[in-house]
Chain A
């Protein structure tokens, strides 16, 4: 027991606690507690005249028992009584008990609130502080309701003591976090901001936490804090280490306050006022300068505090991203840290550099550290640091150093930790493709990748190699040679066998001239791997064999023998058996000409127009793409937003539409495509939503966006579900819409889903759909996505039922030439009456039966509700089954509406 002043020691409590600690078993402890509880009950029950000291003691005991994990269902009244005591210790225990034990729905809350109110209005600073702490500790909605009005007043009152101000600021922050709607700053805003000028550093530190939180919600109201924060920061930065006395921590003046100020500034764009900006730049320079000075102390606290400020300053510089000079200096500073002995510093430096690398000003500066980073990747002990190093390498990669970086990453992959291998493989694959100069290098790299980390190579990666090899005549021979060599290894990864099988099947003839790789040698090599592979690979190999028969007639008998064997022709797997039977028959029945036609070399894969990569490639040639993409990413983004021409599927690989030889085709959009089309407007999902309201709008390897929407008259509500398909979290997830939308959670955990609600009001008729721009960081890489939201004019249809007579009357009324829009088009889908009906109903109009004299035709009527006006529309769809054509006629009271509807619908049938 520490020595305590007489009368305050609470000997009974000390004895009780030591009894409990001496208990040998749990049972003994429970017995002792039961005894004590009975004693306290009899004390609380018996004589009413329990003095403050014993009340405090028993309440303390109850608290201790509660903290041991037992239920306490009495004594609350006594604790509340303690609140009205005038002794500090008694009040303190009362508040302690209440903040730990009182639940918000207790009937005592009124009494408690009363006591707190009394203390708040007392002039005693310690009592006020106790009350504020209690409010903050409980932090319930009820507390916020009762005191949210009071606390700002205390915070800004002139005569409030500094310590109380601190408590009040933090208490308000807590209430704001629990129930932001109840804390209304309004009139207090400017006075709260001026707390930044307070004499007392503690008050400033507390206030700045509050201001940072508030300004994140409504940045405009707190805009004035920027200049104040800058001046405060400059005063601290320029002060000598002795000026601030109590607030100097190991020779660093007010480190916490500095960090918080820098963080507050990160909520705002660079100050527009030149003087303020100049001052801030000066501050940041001073901070960077100070980092160069020799340390004033060898203690770790000194360097920690100094570095904390430095890193905050660097993130502010990165946030502003407008001062090339500062960015480069920051980069150099971080470069020094890259070689620091402290692992944490190295980690932080790598992390910050990652963000620096994406800034156009400092990209070159970051690149100078490539050797160090590669070294870090190789020698760092901590896997998390290595991971950061890999991220940074990925971020700093461009055309000039791609070869080196990819080579380093590949060599590291051999020894990399399993936890980061998958990511590394992905990065290597992306970089290799992004910055491929010549395709033989690309093929080498990817084959190496498969050799080193085959298990982690996803399907898309090897699809892509094959696609590129097929499309480029110049690498085919080289590729065939390389895979042939790679397959020589006694143990190959299955993915390697797949690539090998496919490429040799196509281009084996290119290397057949060499006796070392004569057709039979090739075949035997492939067939030696056959039995070790899974069913899909075997199927692929069988297809390769039949191609061999075409390429090299001399292998025919050998291959037929293989196909005829029981293990093929009687295989239990249906797919394999079918292939074996069919290929065997094909090879024995078909003439060489037929065989040559059927088994012709694969045609080049179509490069789709939609992909941004394809576009840029056309414009600048294959070499310049990557540079352009990276260097002018920002410019690009704005450019591309302007391009809203509808484009077909962005499936660059297009193996789906490929020939029947590859049985295993990707079913979803592929990863690589997403990487390249990151800035393009993606609207293949858009048209599907004309006739339906719910579904998946967009999906790739990383992200799935689902949509659920409902419309009534001119109003609509749309729920967007962002699902993270990976196991890694997405950070700084933001969506911007060219119309207003509620902000979405900035972070999506791996495998999780977040929801965003968009309220839509149709003001007048429109033809362009709103664009949704999504940005997030996955791993180190920034992902950018622009989607058309499927909001079309027909969503605001109100169906109108009418009889045949009415319909034709109105039809005639809308007879002006500009009111009608007509289109004749070919059917994209089968002409099924039921499907057509469902689509027309999904459109939102009323489908009118028995109106048109021809029962084959469909007529619909509806009114589009906009805020400005109502537009009545009539529609007639005449299918022609023989010609597989439709004629669509739309008449409406507004010409633009007719046109737009016609356009939209023409794509649907």
Chain B
């Protein structure tokens, strides 16, 4: 039960203020500004409590979104809602910026009225919202349209309206993963996990029923039982163990529970079908080998080797290695074999950028860092070397096995639908200690 929702710019000025419940007074707006945005110490917790009022905030570039409540609410629900709110706003006016918010404030109030009712989150499906909250001026609706909207909003399938027609039935499926790693200097994996999302864009006519299949270990094993031993051995290698997953509301959970099959009637347009996390058998796309040598009190030699660890035919992109430098660095010389490297004083790091790199290659950088002797006895903490990249495969090993579409009422079959599948693996927090 969210009591109110405020949006601030970076200066703490209120852009949007919507109060849903009487227990939230006007002074709550100021309380958050004074105690969080203008706080002397940076507030790191996303949940703060002042005068028995809880504030949940997220930040998008320079914009603060804060949900306020006096009750003991489910914090995860509130954050889920705030993120959803961000998604909805991006869907309506692309980037969330001060200017965009100011230009669309009528729309935002309209949206806030719709997706929160007396503080309870309502349907926040962009596709559905777009049918009745439009950016064009007021469109007079016919009686049928009105009743249609009513039946849709209140009906069983709130996320899809009836009577959608496309000439070309098309379907896009993206598997987006971010891989997180913490590795010791000796190359031992201290922690690693992948969090992934399956994002779909569907342009399908009618009310199609879809079925999505992937190499989930449980499903494969179940099927493997009936097959030959040889077959099961092969499939066992390729299947993945999913630690936990969440689905879009359109997925029939009862079916997933009983048969572990993912079947659903998709919303129209773009949506996130599922979210998952794996921790076993992760393919680490890069290996970072650091070598740091302190030469006296005033010099430091750093050598970093990166090795790509995937099929040579694939190309990794946007590679960036960030090597932290001590706080008393007074000068840096860098030599690298590939890409460009630069000492960024403002971030206290050497940043090495490589545009493209094929699999099973290696590259290295060496740097000499001059230090200024200080009277501070503290030793440099040696923060880890971090890395960013993008690879065209799923580091978790997830594969889409099938995506079937059935529309019994209309005259197109599974074969007529054009399907596109794409895998993108990105780095999350990918760090190696040095």
Contact = CB atoms under 8 A, between A and B. Distances in A.
Contacts of A7: none
Instruction: Kindly name the residue among B345, B370, B372, B375 whose own CB sees the greatest number of chain A CB atoms within 10 A.
Output: B372
A26 B372 contact: no
A41 B331 CA distance: 8
Contacts of B376: 73-74
A74 B348 CA distance: 16
A181 interface: no
Interface string A702-717: 0000000000000000
Contacts of A74: 328, 372, 374-376
A31 B378 CA distance: 22
Query: Which of A26, A37, A76, A106 counts the most B-chain CB atoms under 10 A from its CB?
Result: A37
A41 B348 contact: no
A25 B10 CA distance: 7
Given A24-B62, A26-B42, A31 B347 contact: yes
Contact of B345 (A35, A45, A108): A35
B136 interface: no
Interface residues of B, number: 18
Contacts of A153: none
B100 interface: no
A907 to B, nearest CB: 60
Given A25-B62, A35-B346, A42 B375 contact: no
A45 B370 contact: yes
A368 to B, nearest CB: 51
Contacts of A25: 10, 62
Given A73-B374, A74-B372, A74-B374, A46 B331 contact: yes
A106 B376 CA distance: 10
Interface in A25-84: 25-26, 31-32, 34-35, 37-39, 41-42, 44-46, 73-74, 76
Contacts of B327: 37, 73
B330 interface: yes
B372 A41 contact: yes
B329 interface: yes
Given A34-B345, A74-B374, A45 B330 contact: yes
A65 to B, nearest CB: 13
A452 to B, nearest CB: 35
A44 B372 contact: yes
A335 B375 CA distance: 64
Interface of B is mostly: loop
A45 B331 contact: yes
A25 B62 CA distance: 8
Contacts of B346: 31-32, 34-35, 38
A31 B344 CA distance: 10
A41 B328 contact: yes
Interface in B320-361: 327-331, 345-348
A76 B375 CA distance: 9
A22 to B, nearest CB: 13
A73 B375 contact: yes
Interface string B365-398: 0000010101110100000000000000000000
A246 interface: no
B375 A107 contact: yes
Given A25-B62, A106-B375, A34 B347 contact: yes
Nearest to A69: B40
A433 B305 CA distance: 93
B296 to A, nearest CB: 14
B417 to A, nearest CB: 46
A38 B329 contact: yes
B10 A38 contact: no
B61 to A, nearest CB: 10
A41 B330 contact: yes
A107 B348 CA distance: 28
Nearest to A24: B10
A15 to B, nearest CB: 16
A39 B345 contact: yes
Nearest to A44: B372
Nearest to A42: B330
Contacts of A41: 328-330, 372
Contacts of A76: 375
Contacts of B331: 42, 45-46
Nearest to A108: B375
B345 A38 contact: yes
A683 to B, nearest CB: 54
A38 B349 CA distance: 11
Contacts of A46: 330-331
Nearest to A74: B374
Nearest to B376: A73
A32 B328 CA distance: 16
A46 B329 CA distance: 12
A34 B374 contact: no
Contacts of A38: 329-330, 345-346, 348
Contacts of A35: 345-346
B351 to A, nearest CB: 13
A45 B372 contact: yes
B330 A44 contact: yes
A46 B328 CA distance: 13
A38 to B, nearest CB: 3
Contacts of B372: 41, 44-45, 74
Contacts of B10: 24-25
Interface string A281-295: 000000000000000
Contacts of A106: 375
Most chain B beta carbons < 10 A, residue from A42, A44, A108 = A42
B348 to A, nearest CB: 6
A32 B347 CA distance: 9
A204 to B, nearest CB: 43
A32 B344 CA distance: 11
A104 to B, nearest CB: 13
Contacts of A44: 330, 372
A472 to B, nearest CB: 55
Contacts of B378: 73
B62 A34 contact: no
A24 B61 CA distance: 11
B292 to A, nearest CB: 19
Contacts of A32: 346
Contacts of B62: 24-25
Contacts of A42: 330-331
A106 B345 CA distance: 28
B328 A73 contact: yes
A795 to B, nearest CB: 52
Interface string B299-336: 00000000000000000000000000001111100000
Contacts of B348: 34, 38
Contacts of B328: 41, 73-74
A76 B376 CA distance: 11
Contacts of A39: 345
Contacts of A24: 10, 62
A45 B328 CA distance: 10
Nearest to A31: B346
A101 to B, nearest CB: 11
A586 B203 CA distance: 97
B326 to A, nearest CB: 10
Contacts of B345: 34-35, 37-39
Contacts of B375: 73-74, 76, 106-108
Interface of A: 24-26, 31-32, 34-35, 37-39, 41-42, 44-46, 73-74, 76, 106-108
17 contacts: A25-B62, A31-B347, A32-B346, A34-B345, A34-B346, A35-B346, A37-B345, A41-B328, A41-B329, A45-B330, A45-B372, A73-B375, A73-B378, A74-B328, A74-B374, A106-B375, A108-B375
Lowest 3 CB-CB distances: which A-B pairs, in order?
A38-B345, A45-B330, A73-B376
Given A37-B327, A38-B346, A46-B330, 16 more contacts: A24-B10, A25-B62, A26-B42, A34-B345, A34-B346, A37-B345, A38-B330, A41-B328, A42-B331, A45-B330, A45-B331, A73-B375, A73-B378, A74-B372, A74-B375, A108-B375
